Structure formats: C-alpha cells, structure tokens
Structure 1
Amino acid sequence: MKTSGNTILMTGGGSGIGEALAHRFHDRGDTVIIVGRRREALEQAAVGRERIHVMTLDVEDADAVDRFAAQVVTDFPSLNVLFNNAGIMKFEDLTTKRDLADADATITTNILGPIRLTNALIDHLSTQPNAAVVMVTSGLAFVPLVAAPTYSATKAAIHSYTVSLRTQLADKVEIIELAPPGVQTDLTPGQANRPGYMPLDAFADAVAAQFAQQPTPREILVDEVQFLRQAEREGRFDDTLKTLTERAAQQREAGDKG
C-alpha cells in the first residue's frame, strides 16, 4: 500500500478506530471517503479536512451495497483502497434460550458487510495500481472473549476469509489484516474509559506507523495484541483464554463502578 496519495474507502469512519485512522491517513496525504449509517457523525468527523468525504451506507441491505459501490466508483474513480472497518459487538449469555437478534445483526454487519462490499468493489480495485483491501479483525479472532461469542466468531471468520482472499488475489490486490487489541472506543458501553484497554490515539499512532512501512506488513499488529495473536503458536491458548476471560470481567466491573 502506498504511503500517501491513496483514495481510501473507510467503513465505520464516523467514530472510534475508523475516524482516528481516517484522520491519520488524511494528514499524510490520502483522500478518504468515510462511510457509515449516521451522516451527522460522519460530517463531524470530516470537519476541517478537505480530503475527507462523507457517504452513507447500511451494509445490511445487499442491494444498497451494490448501488453504493457503483456510485462511489463513479464519484471517486481513483479509489484504490477498501478499508473494511465497520463492526458491532454485543455481550451474550449462551446459558439459556435467547432472542438471536443481536447475533443475527453481528453476523450481518461483521461478516456479510465486508464480504458484500469487497465483492462489489473487487472488479474496480483489480484494475487500479497499488490497490489494497484492509480487513479489520481483532485479537479475539485468535482467542475468543467468551462474553462476546458471536463477535469473536465473526472476527475469526473474517481472519480465515482474509487468508483466502489474499491467496486468490496474489499479484492483483494487496490484502492486509489489521487485528486490534481492546481499544478505548464506544464499541461497547463503557469501553471508551475502560481500564486496561489501549488508548485510541496511541493505537492509531502505532497503526499509522506500521502502514508507513514499505512493504506494508500483511498483518498490522500492535504490541498489545501479540498476547492473543501468538497464544496458540506459543502453546498457551488455554491459559490465555482463562486469563482473558477473568481480566475482561474485572475490567468491565471496574469500568462500570467508575
């Protein structure tokens, strides 16, 4: 991926990781189209930044994704990077029968969303020089947070999908995976101030530094996520799962009390 001069489509760009990275890409000389459901949040994220543009999209509507892709290619023919960042996370109790609306929405947004948008844009991207697709997964793709089982499963699925995508598109489109640790955002209630989570600005700065490397690493991994990413390889998966489960419960409890 070029270190400047890209035209980047950033889903989930109105807040959190998407907004922070959109600002950093803008500041290094990229044009960024930030995408999401809430236009007001997107417009706020774009204030004062002449190369950040705003478009709305609901990835739950498959037909809307195709229409959106056609429009964005028309409006921004130099588009060469798709950044699949949008996602939702819900805590779930699996011990009794429950309403699966949260699970359905999580699967649609976190799996079908990036698959649909990548599919809709891949023909265009394949014709562009320096084309790239960035898939945002999570450290939880490698060791699940048992309190958020569907979210963790969707990120594991997208990690696997990314491997296949990279292999099939070798020498055509660069495929990059970004796997964040727990970051202080509004992904879940109270998370923006939750102790033990990585501050958003520190995370975005570390990620931007890795995107400045040439060649771009195929996995963007800050130091804080290596505990999860390398757990199975290092033979400590069970211990890491136990530690993660206990630590997450303590962090949420401390955050709720705070």
Structure 2
Amino acid sequence: MNEQPGQTEQRKGRIQLLGLLDLRDVKSVEELRHIEQISLVGAVLLSDDFQGSIASIPMDRVGAIVKVPAGSRVNHIAGTMQAGGGLLEQPAADGSDILLVTGELLITSPFRSVAYRQVIVTGQMFIPRESESVLAPHVTQTSGLIVPCDHRNPRMFFGQGRFGKLFFEMMKDPVTLILFGEYVFEADVTPELLREKTSEILLLGMIRAEDQKLVPALQALTTLQQGAILPASGPGDGLNDWFGRH
C-alpha cells in the first residue's frame, strides 16, 4: 500500500505498515510535527526541496529515505516481479521518469536502453550481465542490491526448502538459482550434477549440504553470498535456524 500525496496532513500519531510513504507534497519538517513515529515502512519518498531533517521524527524499521526532484513522476515496483528487458526500454504509460525498486525485480532478457531518467534501488534488482553497463549511468541512488547474473534460466525461491537429485535432473538447461531463505541440498546431489545443471547461485540466506563434499562446489558456483554455506549435521538439519534469527 502506498501513501498518497496530500494525505499526510490528515494522519496523526503513528504511521506504520506501508510499503512506500510518499511525502513529496510536504515542504518542511514543520508540516510533520503531528507525526509521533514512523515504523515498519519500506521507504520514505521526499522531494529534493524538502527543508529540514526528517531524522527528527522517531523511526523504527524504516527501509530507506529517498529524495527525488520536485515534480517528478515515480514508477514504484514493490513485492516481487519478473519482466523482460522491455520494462526498462519502454517508457511507462503514466510518463514516469523515475523507476523506484523497493522489492525484488528480476529482468529476464537483455536491454539496450533505459527509458527512465533515474533508477533508484532500495530492494534487489537482478539484471542480465551484458546489460550492466547500460543500466549503470541511470542509477542515481541505491541502498539495496543490483546484481548482474546469467539471465537465461533463472529460478527465484523464497522461504525454505530442499533440492534433491530429481530437481536438477528435471532441468533441461542449466539454471540460475536465486535463493532467499534457507535451503538443504540433499545427499544424492553430486558436485558433478550440480556443476552440470547450475549456471550460478545467488544466495541471500543459508544453504546446508547433507553431503559435506558438496560444500566446495556450492561455494564455487555462488557469485553472490549474503549468508552462509555449511554442511548439515544430518537430514533436515537447520531448516528453521535462519528464520528463527530473522
């Protein structure tokens, strides 16, 4: 849910549980004096002519403070989205000149141009490796991740789960695994099978391997690691460990 411009003066006390809090209509921190706290908000959007410091308002678990030029239009992508390169090449229907990514955006085909004047990423954006230089000049702010990767057969997983021999044997072409959460690679997955069926692994969480010999292969194929790759002490070990800490 997004906070709409012009509504902030009607809110008093606490503002919470919003994907995006849009304060572009607010010109100074004095106009926010009635707000006691901002909490559990993915991003706060401000105009670059905002006067004062929003940091004077108590905040709890606020993702990012983003300033954009006054009068600009913003295309906001929250949640999880997969799209081809045309999403970046073609202008937005509403004329937006800024792309703001606060969720997870996976671009599944190369792009040769970017129709947006600015790209701002506070979440995670996965793009084809060959398009990295095309996107770079348009990125004006980032507190998240922009990850170039093999786009040809991506699979994105959230939560927790297990990968066994049959999963990889069902893959017709090598797969790029994008893993958010905690996953167990079962003992019947060999280093040779993993190497044959996996282009790369992007890990934001934890992997546990039931066969300790698989750990070096997992590490070698992982091009982004925010978390850990560890041997499991037994079948099913550690499936809830990562979620218990996050």
Same fold (TM over 0.5): no
Larger helix fraction of residues: 1
TM-score, normalised to structure 1's length?
0.27
Q: Of the two, which has the highest radius of gyration?
A: 2
TM-score, normalised to structure 2's length?
0.28
